[in-house]
Amino acid sequence: MKKISIITPCYNEEVNVEICAQELKNVMQKQLSGYDYEHIFADNASTDSTLIKLREMAKKDRHIKVIANSRNVGPFRNMWNGMKSATGDAVVPQLAADLQDPPSVIPEFVKNWEAGFLVTYGVRSKREEALVMRMARGLYYRIIKKFAAAVIPLNSGEFLLADKKVIDSILSVDDQYPYIRGLIAQTGVKSVSVSYTWVKRERGKSKNNFISLIDQAINGFVSTSRVPARLALLGGFILSFLGFAYAIFTLVMAFISDGSSPVGIPTIIVGIFLLGGVQLLFLGLIGEYILSIHGQVRRTPPMFEIERINFKER
């Protein structure tokens, strides 16, 4: 019997974890009864009763496994650690505890997997969220798709199914801040997409605030493409050329204008502020790449697990 590993990273989701586990159980028993499964809850040091509920759930159901972190390491690192513990023949890296990505899509993932596709992406064709956020996400996904070194389907996330061979391949990468969908796309394996509606959260409040979303977006951008740095280099050359040409023009005009040329103070001020602003913009962009290198070279303390439930001894 083939086995599917489904990972649910969670942080302060006491109102959702039981419902999430039950919804997945219903799908596995009714539509995927010919498969074994494990539902790995990776708790990111929740401060509410999430871990207590997970312990109770794991006692009642052998399919539920729990990893409890000592500190909040962010959703991507948490997911990555859960993937390392997955033992299934195929893995779903993220089934959100709030069920905005519905478990009912997973049978379609499995169907494509059995048909020979090593990766099936879940594509959010519709989003039940505010217009501003929907437009912002849509723009971001289009930028990523345009500039990424690999083909990442538009509006896709970590709600996907990948063969264990693909998961093992990306886990061999020693990455301190993994952009999972980008790493999977870079394997270049045979893939397909399944469209679904990203539903509105019904219970609880999202823990992804504006700052964390920006951090994740920038990480995804710099980890999948060299284009921003190359654009900064090209822009620097163009502006340097224009600045040099303007300096020559100003010098020539000073000689032929018979002393009636402008004093030039406004030009100097505009030039200083314009070029200074452009330099700061490009330095900030390059700084993001340096921060990425810094995080990879100067490691943070390794993830520490305070508890593991329903796992075999390692």
- Residue 38 confidence (pLDDT): 97
Q: What are the residues whose beta carbons fall under 8 Å from the beta carbon of 237, sequence distance 6 or more? A: none
CATH 3.50.50.60 fits 3-224+301-309, yes or no: no
* Structural domain spans, the chain: 3-224+301-309, 227-297
In the chain, the percentage of residues whose pLDDT exceeds 70 is 68
Q: Which residue has the higher pLDDT, 278 or 101?
A: 101
Mean pLDDT across 171-180: 83
Mean pLDDT across 102-130: 91
- Residue 234 confidence (pLDDT): 65
3-state secondary structure of 292: helix
Using CA atoms, how far residue 210 sits from 66, 67, 126, 148, 213, in Å, is: 28, 27, 21, 23, 5
Cα-Cα end-to-end distance for the chain: 23
pLDDT category at 239 given cuts 50, 70, 90 is low
Listed residue (232, 248, 243) closest to 272, CA to CA? 243
91 neighbors 8 (Cβ within 8 angstroms)? no
Mean pLDDT across 88-104: 94
Query: In this model, does residue 298 exceed pLDDT 60?
Result: no
- Residue 193 confidence (pLDDT): 94
- Residue 18 confidence (pLDDT): 95
- Residue 11 confidence (pLDDT): 92
- Residue 253 confidence (pLDDT): 65
> Which residue has tokens 């790449």?
289
Single pTM value for the model: 0.73
What's the token pair of residue 158?
Answer: 């970590």
Query: In this model, does residue 149 exceed pLDDT 70?
Result: no
Question: pLDDT (tens digit, 9 = 90+) per residue, 99-112?
Answer: 999 999 999 999 99
Helix (H) or strand (E) holding 281: helix 265-297
Q: Which residue has the higher pLDDT, 144 or 169?
A: 169
